[in-house]
A and B are shown apart, each in its own frame.
Chain A
Amino acid sequence: MSASHVPISPRSLPTPRRLPVWHTIRSILQRDKRPLFGVAILAVFVLMAILAPVLTPYSPSQTGFQTMAAPSARHWLGTTASGQDVLSQFLYGSRISLGVGFTAGFIATLLAVIMGMFPAYLGGHTDTIMATVTNIMLVIPGLPLLIVITAYVHQTGPATIALVIGLTGWAWGARVLRSQTLTLSHRDFVVAARLAGENRWRILLAEILPNMLSLVVANVVFATIGAILAEASLEFLGLGNPNIITWGTMLYWADAGEALLGGAWWWIVPPGLAIALVGLSLALINFGIDQIANPRLRVNRIRKNRAGRGSHP
């Protein structure tokens, strides 16, 4: 009892219950630089997407350059088989790839909150049914389902893809949020609020939700990684609209244009690497969010415990 309640830093003493979030974030970032790296990488990509017209003189669909040209001073990332500038495709493509990813991530999280938090709090048959639906959605493989849906939809633009990915990708979040809601609704402060006669919805939105915010944010990040990968996969398979330039359709055209057999690595490497780097940056950010949600994972604590244990005779 006593050991685990010794405050780690004197700063955490005056406000025992809810430290300002900013305070927690700063203390985590002092110990662990990974989330900062993540934010930096993501910021670079977002800036590239916004500043695309400034960064490249060419339009992404402009043809007529030399075909399959290696990187040069005029075309930093070379050209495609139909003579388009790869760099401008890469920069403009990031707009839709990131846009679809985050949109789908938000849709999935919103659904996860609705399907996970509300039924768990209300309980009863609704909860049983929703939990079963969630578990079923969780085990049905996502990508094959996405492929089948997009095959039926036919003309699938970015908006449709974002919607479909969001609609099929909520199950994991719903499960996590459900179990956290169940845990929280038995905590003293929630029981106290209920005994004090607080309105049920007020308890849910003002007492429980704020305490799950880090999980919700983590879910946005997590769902966005999945969405960016899923979008790229669908478009690579040619199930998106191949005329809209994204990282996924770039890879589709590169594969269709036999970029590899022509040795055009400059056409293949950038979009895939960008997808992986955005995924990495989000995962690094998630390391930070995890530590807000679960103090046990905080780097300083683990090290301290270990040092303490080592010094025991």
Chain B
Amino acid sequence: MQFVRQRLAFLLLSLWAAATINFVLPRLMPGNPAILMIGRFKGQLSARALKALELQFGVTHKPLWDQYLIYLNNLIHGRLGLSLTYYPVPVSRIIAESLPWTLGLVGVATLISVAVGLILGIYTAWHRGGNWDAILPTMATFTAALPYFWLGLLMLFLLGYLWHWFPLAHAYSTSLTPSFSWSFIRNMLYHALLPAMTIVISSMGGWLLGMRNNMIQTLGEDYVLFGRARGLSQRRLMIHYAARNAILPSMTGFAMAIGFVVGGALLTEVVFSYPGVGYQLLAAVQNEDYPLMQGLFLIIAFSVLITNFLVEILYARLDPRTRGGVHK
């Protein structure tokens, strides 16, 4: 319980930090960039919206502290302002429309990549010095260095453009209207496959290498040697003795890994014109739609922080060592 409280405190602290970074950045920049943006929209917005914008980006004479409190208060109530590109649509609605696509894509791709990466890591460590152990880790090192967007471009070129196996863009065929029918879901999965493969291929290598290292460390432990001396079956040794203990430490890197995967997924979305938060974020940047950009950044950061919190809680349930050992 103390562990959960501690992690919860850290979650709140990091959420606050992300929100504060979001507040400080535009005010920190030389020649507040928001002034230009607001100037550009002057004739087109209602006086009230304009005033809200000025407050949101610090183009106002109110004291900084007041601005900050108003900002936090708005944030707590889910008021992220109005998008300028889609004026007067609230930023929160655009987020609500794009977030499910990203969560679905990144969620499924990450689960696959973690599962396959861990299994291959266990396998190569167990057969250390074998043929696959010579090939797979080297390949993993290479795929881990592949830029996500470039891999996406290549897949698009080969599988989409040259061989016509997969659609070139979007989350579903534009001729269809979203529904819960089987044909729509099939169409959706078909469109998600190529971007998901891009994310899986680029992120799997890291899991494989991390798992292999941990597995090798674990295989050197006395209890594995003892199990071997007792004549336990290879399978039991590999899975119950070594792998189960090696998986947990490789999850410690999860926080950084998930941040990295999300970054990569944003690029993948851009390449495939997939209507998730990454695609919207880039569009917002290109249109200088700062309220939308801020809102998307916050939601991306918050999703990563909350996922990370949930994984840590799960991790502590599975591995009692982490619960008390943090302070030592």
Query: Inside 8 A of B161's CB, which chain A residues have their CB?
Result: 260-261, 263
Q: A233 contacts the other chain (Cβ, under 8 Å)?
A: yes
Q: B60 contacts the other chain (Cβ, under 8 Å)?
A: no
Q: B109 contacts the other chain (Cβ, under 8 Å)?
A: no
Q: A269 contacts the other chain (Cβ, under 8 Å)?
A: yes
CB-CB under 8 A for A148 and B141, given A139-B259, A276-B146: no
In chain B, positions 166-218 with a C-beta closer than 8 Å to chain A are 213, 216-217
Q: A239 contacts the other chain (Cβ, under 8 Å)?
A: yes
A-B contact pairs, 28 of them (CB 8 A): A136-B14, A139-B308, A140-B259, A141-B258, A141-B260, A141-B301, A142-B259, A143-B264, A144-B297, A148-B22, A151-B293, A152-B33, A153-B33, A154-B33, A172-B256, A232-B147, A233-B149, A255-B153, A263-B161, A269-B154, A275-B145, A276-B147, A276-B150, A279-B146, A280-B141, A280-B142, A296-B220, A305-B220
Q: A149 contacts the other chain (Cβ, under 8 Å)?
A: yes
Q: A236 contacts the other chain (Cβ, under 8 Å)?
A: yes
> A151 — nearest CB in chain B belongs to which residue?
B285
Q: Give the shortest distance, in Å, between B241 (CB) and chain A (any CB).
A: 14
CB-CB under 8 A for A229 and B308, given A136-B17, A139-B255, A143-B266: no
Most-contacted residue by chain B among A232, A233, A269 (CB, 10 A): A233
CB-CB under 8 A for A138 and B255, given A143-B266, A152-B26: yes
Contact call A144/B29, Cβ cutoff below 8 A: no
Q: B75 contacts the other chain (Cβ, under 8 Å)?
A: no
Q: Give the shortest distance, in Å, between A130 (CB) and chain B (any CB).
A: 14
CA distance A151 to B281 in the complex (A): 10
Q: B18 contacts the other chain (Cβ, under 8 Å)?
A: yes
Query: Inside 8 A of A284's CB, which chain B residues have their CB?
Result: 141
Partner of A141, one of B138, B228, B293, B304: B304
Instruction: List residues of B whose CB falls within 8 A of some A CB.
Output: 10, 13-14, 17-18, 21-22, 25-26, 29, 33, 128-129, 138, 141-142, 144-151, 153-154, 156-157, 161, 213, 216-217, 220, 225, 228-229, 255-256, 258-260, 262-264, 266-267, 270-271, 281-282, 285-286, 288, 290, 293-294, 296-297, 300-301, 304-305, 308
> B156 — nearest CB in chain A belongs to which residue?
A260
Known: A140-B14, A269-B154. 20 other contacts (CB 8 A): A141-B258, A142-B263, A145-B301, A147-B266, A148-B22, A151-B293, A152-B29, A152-B33, A154-B33, A233-B263, A255-B271, A260-B157, A261-B161, A275-B147, A276-B146, A279-B145, A279-B146, A280-B141, A280-B145, A306-B128
- Chain A interfacial residues counted at CB < 8 A: 55
Q: A177 contacts the other chain (Cβ, under 8 Å)?
A: no
Instruction: List residues of A whose CB falls within 8 A of some B CB.
Output: 34, 132, 135-136, 138-145, 147-149, 151-154, 172, 225, 229, 232-233, 236-239, 251, 255, 260-261, 263, 265, 268-269, 271-272, 275-280, 282-284, 296-297, 302-303, 305-306, 309, 312
Contact call A148/B293, Cβ cutoff below 8 A: yes
Q: Give the shortest distance, in Å, between A78 (CB) and chain B (any CB).
A: 15
Partner of A251, one of B141, B149, B304: B149
Query: Inside 8 A of B282's CB, which chain A residues have their CB?
Result: 147, 237
Partner of B157, one of A138, A233, A265, A278: A265
Contact call B21/A145, Cβ cutoff below 8 A: yes
Q: Give the shortest distance, in Å, between B217 (CB) and chain A (any CB).
A: 8
Contact call A272/B293, Cβ cutoff below 8 A: no
CB-CB under 8 A for A272 and B154, given A152-B25, A280-B141, A305-B220: yes
Contact call A283/B141, Cβ cutoff below 8 A: yes
Query: Inside 8 A of B14's CB, which chain A residues have their CB?
Result: 135-136, 139-140
Contact call A144/B301, Cβ cutoff below 8 A: yes
CA distance A189 to B282 in the complex (A): 53
Query: Inside 8 A of A271's CB, which chain B residues have their CB?
Result: 150
Query: Inside 8 A of B255's CB, which chain A residues have their CB?
Result: 138-139
CB-CB under 8 A for A236 and B149, given A139-B255, A280-B142: yes
Partner of B301, one of A140, A151, A263, A309: A140
Q: Give the shortest distance, in Å, between B136 (CB) and chain A (any CB).
A: 14
Query: Inside 8 A of A236's CB, which chain B residues have their CB?
Result: 147, 149-150, 267
Q: Give the shortest distance, in Å, between A226 (CB) and chain B (any CB).
A: 8
Q: Give the shortest distance, in Å, between A173 (CB) and chain B (any CB).
A: 11
Q: Give the shortest distance, in Å, between A223 (CB) and chain B (any CB).
A: 13
Q: Give the shortest distance, in Å, between A280 (CB) and chain B (any CB).
A: 5
CA distance A186 to B260 in the complex (A): 34
> A260 — nearest CB in chain B belongs to which residue?
B157
Contact call A268/B285, Cβ cutoff below 8 A: no
Contact call B144/A283, Cβ cutoff below 8 A: yes
CA distance A149 to B27 in the complex (A): 11
Contact call A238/B147, Cβ cutoff below 8 A: no
Contact call B21/A303, Cβ cutoff below 8 A: no
Contact call A229/B259, Cβ cutoff below 8 A: no
CA distance A263 to B157 in the complex (A): 8
Query: Inside 8 A of A283's CB, which chain B residues have their CB?
Result: 141, 144-145
Contact call A237/B17, Cβ cutoff below 8 A: no
Contact call A279/B262, Cβ cutoff below 8 A: no
Query: Inside 8 A of A302's CB, which chain B residues have their CB?
Result: 128, 216
Contact call B256/A138, Cβ cutoff below 8 A: yes
Query: Inside 8 A of B297's CB, which chain A residues have their CB?
Result: 144-145, 147-148
CA distance A135 to B33 in the complex (A): 29
